[in-house]
Amino acid sequence: MTVGIVGMGYVGLPLAVAFAQAGHRVIAMDVDSRKVAALERGESYIEDIPSEAVHAVRDLLEPTTRVGPLGHADAVLLCVPTPLTANREPDLGPLLDATQALARVLRAGQLVVLESTSYPGTTRERLLPLLEESGLAAGSDFSLAHSPERVDPGREDHTIRTTPKVIGGLTEVCTQRASDLYSAICDEVVPVATPEVAEMTKLLENIFRSVNIALVNELAILSDRMGIDIWEVVDAAATKPFGFMRFEPGPGMGGHCLPVDPFYLAWRAREFDFPTEFIELAGKVNMQMPYHCVVKIERALNDAGQAVKGSRVAILGVSYKAGIGDLRESPALKILRLLADRGADLVYHDPHVPELPQGMRSLPLEQALDGADLAVIVTAHTEIDLHTVIAAAPRVVDLRGVTRRMPAPSVERL
């Protein structure tokens, strides 16, 4: 089998390696020539995929920036970004461009699967008409399905192989063809009735997390005003063996899914005269968390008789979650910007992010803490020695609750 994959990012590259490891030829297409060049050398640029894994299957990978080779694939998976515009509305530009390009080389008998997250109706209403410009009919001449990605960067306990794969085809035959395809790399496939069910499934998964994180974040703000330790509250509530699921507060949500997906559904819902107030409120609460964190930082400095302006602040961890170097939608970037606007002298340490887009470079932990008036734990990488942080920094603001078992008068938690 030959599998074409469009988009060699956090979703596409793991899929490419998985299919190649299963013995299938993979056409790895991306418009970024740097990614293609890296794959040609057998190198990975994603932390979850070691270069050794790419090198081991290099003979089965055909990296390319051209769409033409996709015409020789048995199946084509679309794994391109689906971001938001500056106005927090869906930006399907990259997806629609990729679909139009694919339509030019689409041939009878192929299977096309959308992996990218989008609102219900995207596969049927946006992709299908573009693909049928090829002169082929979806459901008879070629198969079409949606199977939402479930990638969680940095996670090792659940893999592509062990994570059930939800699949919704345009027809029963489409669903079966997609199920047969993914059975080569997934232990369990979960067929559903339509592409819309599959699209809504992914949104439910992420909105569930977004809403619950917003709830505990709002309680964290309230608890702060009431003088209650929210971490002790969460720990105590988590002892209940039923009817409660643990979620923890933090500086805000990052990555591609949680900060983005709820707005896709909210936008779509407006077409049905249905304001998703609950979902949008959760998004607003989570988007405000970096501002609340900056207030905590200002207060910690003020208690020491210092203003933010001119104070040296060491930011510890800038990726959106621990254990990875992914900066997408990271709340640390907003916290850095807000502190810079207030005149703070900023340095940062992150073992996974050597340099930020604006040119600031990560310092070794000891150097970042040297002379710092305040250290802020934004992302709790396990490589960051908390004992060193508490010993070296005169004041610490812990936005992740990782010091709650290490009582120290210099530490203030979210």
What letter represents residue 197's amino acid?
Answer: V
How far, in whole angstroms, is CA 323 from its chain's centroid?
Answer: 13
Interatomic CA distance for residues 74 and 312, integer angstroms:
57
Interatomic CA distance for residues 111 and 119, integer angstroms:
21
Interatomic CA distance for residues 198 and 177, integer angstroms:
15
3-state secondary structure of 4: strand
343: left (phi over 0), alpha (psi -120 to 50) or beta: left
Which is the catalytic residue, given 79, 174, 186, 257? 257
List of residues 6+ apart from 172 with CB closer than 8 A: none
Q: How many CB atoms lie within 10 A of CB 343?
A: 12
Strands (E), 273-408: 312-316, 345-349, 374-377, 396-398
CA dist 324 to 10, 18, 206, 260, 261, Å? 12, 20, 20, 19, 21
The answer to whether the beta carbons of residues 413 and 395 sit under 8 Å apart is no
Strands (E), 75-126: 75-78, 111-114
- State the Cα torsion 120-138-187-15 to the nearest 10°: -80
List of residues 6+ apart from 85 with CB closer than 8 A: 91
- The CA-based angle 149-153-155, given to 5 degrees, is 105
Interatomic CA distance for residues 154 and 322, integer angstroms:
8
3-state secondary structure of 285: helix
Active site residue 186: no
Interatomic CA distance for residues 305 and 28, integer angstroms:
57
List of residues 6+ apart from 107 with CB closer than 8 A: 71, 136, 142
Catalytic residue positions, numbered: 257
